[in-house]
Amino acid sequence: MRQTMSQQTVSVIVPVYNGGESFRQCLSSLAQTNPQPHEIIVVADGDTDGSRDVARATGVRLIVRDTPGGPALARNLGANAACGTLLYFVDADVTLPSDAIGQVMAAFTAEPELSALIGSYDDAPGDAAFLSQYKNLLHHYVHQRGHEQAWTFWGACGAIRREDFIAVGGFDEGYNKPSIEDIELGARLVQRGHRIRLLKALQVKHLKRWTATSLLRTDFTQRALPWTALLLKSKHMPNDLNLGLTSRLSVICAHGLVGALLISLIQPRALLLAAVQALGLTMLNFPLYRFFASKRGPWFALRSMPWHWLYYWYGGLAFAIGFARHHLGDSSAETRVSTTPTDDISHHI
């Protein structure tokens, strides 16, 4: 039986590994939420920068691991220690609006059959660097235009009924580094008939500083490759978020553009084909570039375009690699994918 709003209790769970100043700001924002959550549980996952001491000083519930086990394990540990009827997972590098807890409680009360919900990043990222602004504004744009009936979960700002979380076995701890453990959980929830909602009004501020190296490494190795493996194994390709038709066509154009540019080295007339592909990418994604221009100006939008096109190119490359691995049966090379984690996560207590 689902609870009324007065019966809902929210346990906020924050995994942290060397969270630094961003983690301090995260805890500060949690202290200013109204209403307050029933409890805040911090899982210090082998930190070496004193993050556990920062958490301890604020009086939150603290679980300490001496060695890093990854965010999936850390979140499961927090969930098993939680008392709330709702588990609200928050990343250590985001800050929450003051009404975040109230939004979560209201959403679950209004929809008794709702199992989970996710929010999005806001349109004012905490770091001023160009790539940080680009990456987070792209996330905001995609999620604000996604379907409210979601098919994925999001560990940075995602809440789930504790009973449903336990029923599906929690996060897959085979992902022992930050990866797609949240997406995999969402896919498993949907496969078992649970409903997930994208609550667009619930927006958190991302404080992370992105560099070219961290962006490419995260997008390609930690997201695109394992996500491709998950999609191929589940045989389900949603037409939503960054898997929509526009994105699929953009991948084709991005590879066509690179191919035409390479051919132009020996056949200059191929530059015309390259121009056609570039025009196609521009037209397909014009609403996004218009959004960028409205938020940060035309120059920002122009600077974002090559990075966005590169994103489509390496996303397509990751899919090709994942497709080859999947059909050649290269299980040793395939990134971790599991759809049958343990149904009992209580062994962590």
CATH superfamily of 5-210: Spore Coat Polysaccharide Biosynthesis Protein SpsA; Chain A (3.90.550.10)
Please report, as a single letter, which amino acid is at residue 2: R
Distance CA(333)–CA(225), nearest Å, equals 11
Comparing CA positions, the residue from 84, 111, 72 lying closest to residue 196 is 111
Domain range summary for the chain, segments of one domain joined by +? 5-210, 241-328
Q: Rounded to an integer, what distance in angstroms lies between the CA atom of residue 334 and that of residue 198?
A: 30
DSSP letter at 236? -
pTM for the predicted model, two decimal places: 0.89
Task: Kindly report, residue by residue over 166-222, the tens digit of the pLDDT.
Answer: 999 999 999 988 889 999 999 999 999 999 999 999 999 999 999 999 999 998 888
Distance of CA 267 to the CA centre of its chain: 42
As given in the structure block, the two tokens for residue 25 are 């700001």
Spatial separation of the C-alpha atoms in residues 118 and 195, rounded to whole Å: 11
Report residues of the chain scoring pLDDT below 70: 1-6, 234-243, 326, 329-349
Is residue 11 within 8 Å of residue 88, measured between CB atoms?
A: yes
* pLDDT tens readout for residues 15-34: 999 999 999 999 999 999 99
pLDDT attached to residue 102: 97
Q: Kindly give the interhelix angle for 270-284 and 286-296, rounded to the nearest 10 degrees.
A: 70
pLDDT of residue 333: 41
- Tell me, what's the pLDDT at 239? 47
Q: What is the pLDDT of residue 90?
A: 98
- What pLDDT is recorded for position 326? 65
Please, where are the H alpha helices in the chain? 20-31, 51-58, 71-81, 100-110, 130-144, 162-167, 181-191, 212-217, 225-234, 245-263, 270-284, 286-296, 298-328
Helix H segments across 159-234?
162-167, 181-191, 212-217, 225-234
